[in-house]
Amino acid sequence: GAGVSQSPSNKVTEKGKDVELRCDPISGHTALYWYRQSLGQGLEFLIYFQGNSAPDKSGLPSDRFSAERTGGSVSTLTIQRTQQEDSAVYLCASSPPDGYNSPLHFGNGTRLTVT
Amino acid sequence: AQKITQTQPGMFVQEKEAVTLDCTYDTSDPSYGLFWYKQPSSGEMIFLIYQGSYDQQNATEGRYSLNFQKARKSANLVISASQLGDSAMYFCAMRGYNAGNNRKLIWGLGTSLAVNP
């Protein structure tokens, strides 16, 4: 079946521009996560959506970052006025109705390069 | 507070030998799950194995097994008969459950495994 789909796979943008990253989770998965991973580093939590609950935004690094999830499915991560330190791979993951034994299924990520 | 610790930034193993990757955790949740993921150089995150806190037996999935010691709060990944394709980053993660709430997944910093021919 279809996995988690992220687009674009690569994005090069100029400093100061806005970017939108898209995540299409596995159908029926109610939990959706965004992570950021810099080169050679671990996963940095950004935001977590669980069903209709208010999202956990505690990982967003600044107010330039925002995310929404429409209709409990597709999610968009927006970075405004991009900076060079925003360059990283942005990973999206989803899981079934979010039991503590549910593994996350990851997309292939969007590699963002800010020049 | 919940925390995952992976103390080995890098590991080497000879092909066909077994290797253990360490993971310790801290949680006060009564129930929790532990996960291991593999991230090869291609960047994809691959789910390997899961261990529930109330599972009676250690989890196994093919060449992967989990040495779960609840009292010590450790969940080490054992890879048997290492293959060159096992060279990758390995991440340990945990999610807890408390009072009707599922917590978000938390992650260790990873261990880089290199398999030598």
If you measure CA to CA, which chain A residue comes closest to B52?
Answer: A101
Amino acid in the structure at residue A88: A
- Residue A7 and residue B76: Cα distance in Å, rounded? 34
Banded model confidence at residue B102, pLDDT cuts 50, 70, 90: low
Minimal Cα–Cα distance from B7 to chain A, Å?
A: 13
Q: What is the pLDDT of residues A7-48, one digit of tens each?
A: 999 999 999 999 999 999 999 898 899 999 998 788 899 999
Banded model confidence at residue A4, pLDDT cuts 50, 70, 90: very high
pLDDT at B101: 63
Residue A33 tokens read as 């996560």
pLDDT at A96: 83
pLDDT at A52: 82
Tell me: pLDDT of B79 over 80: yes
DSSP class per residue in chain A: ----EEE-SEEEE-TT--EEEEEE--TT--EEEEEEE-TT---EEEEEEETTSPPB-TT--STTEEEEEGGGS-EEEEE-S--GGG-EEEEEEEESS--TTPPPEE---EEEEE-
Residues 3-62 of B with CB under 8 A from A: 31-33, 35, 43-45, 47, 50, 52
Banded model confidence at residue B100, pLDDT cuts 50, 70, 90: low
Query: Which among A48, A91, A100 is the nearest to B31, CB-wise?
Result: A100
Q: What is the pLDDT of residues A63-85, one digit of tens each?
A: 999 999 988 799 999 999 999 99
> Testing the interface with A: which of B45, B49, B68, B111 to mutate, by most A Cβ within 10 A?
B45
Three-class secondary structure of residue B79 per DSSP: strand
pLDDT at B117: 94
Are B96 and A93 within 8 A, CB to CB?
A: no
Backbone CA torsion sign across A57, A63, A69, A70: positive
Using DSSP bridges, classify how beta strands B106-107 and B88-98 pair: parallel, antiparallel or unpaired: antiparallel
Are B110 and A50 within 8 A, CB to CB?
A: no
Q: What is the pLDDT of residues B9-56, one digit of tens each?
A: 999 999 999 999 999 999 988 889 999 999 999 888 999 999 999 998
The larger pLDDT score, comparing residue A94 to residue A1, is at A94
If you measure CA to CA, which chain B residue comes closest to A44?
Answer: B107
In this prediction, what percent of chain B has a pLDDT beyond 70?
A: 96
Query: Which among B44, B96, B110 is the nearest to A108, CB-wise?
Result: B44
In this prediction, what percent of chain A has a pLDDT beyond 70?
A: 97
- Residue B92 and residue B73: Cα distance in Å, rounded? 13
- Residue B101 and residue B103: Cα distance in Å, rounded? 6
Size of interface A-B (CB pairs under 8 A): 51
Are A42 and B107 within 8 A, CB to CB?
A: yes
- Residue B42 and residue B102: Cα distance in Å, rounded? 31
Report the length, in residues, of chain B: 117
pLDDT at A42: 83
What is the average pLDDT value for chain A, to the nearest integer? 92
List chain B residues with CB under 8 Å of A48: 104
If you measure CA to CA, which chain A residue comes closest to B38?
Answer: A106
- Residue B21 and residue B44: Cα distance in Å, rounded? 20
Banded model confidence at residue A1, pLDDT cuts 50, 70, 90: low
pLDDT at A98: 60
Backbone CA torsion sign across B111, B23, A60, A75: positive
* Contact between A40 and A55 (Cβ < 8 Å): no
Tell me: pLDDT of A87 over 60: yes
- Residue A41 and residue A59: Cα distance in Å, rounded? 16
Are B96 and A45 within 8 A, CB to CB?
A: no
pLDDT at A13: 98
